[in-house]
């Protein structure tokens, strides 16, 4: 086991995969000499050279478009966007090209690229740099979506993403980069797309991902002290979505809560809630509950920002109401 931060696990995944596969390249704004906006690509340009770690102009559309072209010619680019908030400027390239090329070419060619970016709240970065836009990606057929919550998944999921035959959007939460945990870099990782059951409980299932996994795990012991034992499921990837792991726990407990940092309306929580309600209806004791971000722009104020997304206290409060 190796103790490392979430940031360093991502960096190590890039290093190990670049050593294992000469076709892996990195491209993005300031990923080279500067080392990346969050330090994930620090010193990689020294290790692998300017032909494999490319500093690009400040053009998100250009970065993703170039990555798609490179992937179609046999390379495996890892493109970085500083903020997921900028993904809207890439949606023609990402949604109309990368997501559809395998289908449009009858399977003769694919786009084996990874788009690394970060999202979420926690740094008072303001409304244009604090969003959770995973719903954009989950809504687009042809795009895979990974959102690691743990340091181990930051390493193993990123390495798995770089080996996929189709485009993967890999969203890292800005509040997790300094998280430090033990990682076994040599172990066989869970299968790609497989959810992780982090806690078992007989009364309630909490389905979540990314930073909210830690909030759910923080709330769970407090719920247990009141007699409510919760199962906590970390989805790890939203596409593919491992519903087969969710179903039996919902059937056993009869109660489910979906927790996301993305907005409540038409968001990831809405989709997961509908899916659980449709497929597990006969086993539910009451409706599935969504605990999600407020339908508002994120404030730069730390207090207002913290109040706009679920917290451990809110998860605990809503869970208790489910048993009243």
Mean pLDDT, residues 294-301 taken together: 97
Mean pLDDT, residues 22-35 taken together: 97
Mean pLDDT, residues 68-84 taken together: 97
Mean pLDDT, residues 206-233 taken together: 98
CA distances from 19 to 22, 94, 135, 201 (A): 7, 27, 33, 42
CA-CA-CA-CA torsion sign (301, 39, 69, 156): negative
Say which CATH number the domain at 261 has: 3.40.50.920
Six-digit token string for 58: 């400040």
Mean pLDDT, residues 291-299 taken together: 97
Specify whether 147 is located in the same domain as 247. no
Specify whether 113 is located in the same domain as 206. no
Active site residues per annotation: 60, 129
For residues 235 and 205, the answer to whether their CB atoms sit within 8 Å is no
Q: What is the pLDDT of residues 115-165, one digit of tens each?
A: 999 999 999 999 999 999 999 999 999 999 999 999 999 999 999 999 999
pLDDT given at position 245 = 98
Torsion of CA 292, 298, 301, 306, to 10 degrees: 10
For residues 274 and 180, the answer to whether their CB atoms sit within 8 Å is no
pLDDT given at position 86 = 96
pLDDT given at position 306 = 95
Specify whether 167 is located in the same domain as 73. yes
Torsion of CA 223, 226, 229, 233, to 10 degrees: -10
pLDDT given at position 191 = 95
Domain containing residue 271: 196-321
Say which CATH number the domain at 137 has: 3.40.50.970
pLDDT given at position 6 = 98
């Amino acid at each position: 086991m190796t103790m490392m931060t979430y940031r360093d696990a991502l960096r190590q995944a890039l290093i190990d995969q670049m050593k294992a596969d000469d076709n892996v390249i990195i491209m993005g704004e300031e990923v080279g000499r500067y080392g990346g906006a969050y330090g994930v690509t620090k010193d990689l340009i020294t290790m692998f050279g300017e032909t494999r770690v490319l500093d690009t102009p400040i053009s998100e559309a250009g970065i993703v478009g170039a990555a798609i072209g490179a992937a179609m010619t046999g390379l495996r680019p890892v493109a970085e966007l500083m903020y997921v908030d900028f993904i809207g400027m890439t949606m023609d390239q990402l949604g109309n090209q990368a997501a559809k090329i395998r289908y449009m070419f009858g399977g003769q060619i694919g786009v084996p690229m990874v788009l690394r970016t970060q999202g979420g709240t926690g740094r008072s970065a303001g409304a244009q740099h604090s969003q959770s836009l995973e719903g954009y990606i989950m809504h687009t057929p042809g795009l895979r979506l990974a959102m690691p919550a743990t340091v181990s998944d930051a390493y193993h999921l990123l390495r798995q993403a770089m080996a996929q035959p189709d485009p993967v959007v890999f969203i890292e939460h800005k509040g997790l980069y300094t998280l430090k945990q033990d990682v076994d870099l040599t172990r066989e990782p869970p299968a790609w797309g497989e959810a992780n059951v982090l806690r078992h409980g007989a009364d309630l299932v909490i389905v979540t991902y990314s930073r909210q996994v830690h909030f759910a795990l923080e709330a769970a012991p407090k719920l247990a002290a009141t007699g409510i034992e919760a199962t906590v499921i970390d989805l790890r990837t939203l596409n593919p979505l491992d519903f087969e792991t969710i179903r039996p726990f919902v059937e056993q407990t009869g109660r489910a809560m979906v927790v996301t940092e993305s907005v409540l309306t038409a968001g990831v929580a809405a989709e997961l809630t509908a899916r659980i309600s449709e497929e597990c209806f006969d086993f539910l004791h009451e409706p599935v509950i969504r605990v999600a971000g407020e339908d508002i722009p994120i404030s730069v104020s730390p207090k207002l920002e913290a109040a706009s997304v679920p917290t451990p206290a809110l998860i605990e409060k809503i869970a208790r109401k489910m048993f009243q």
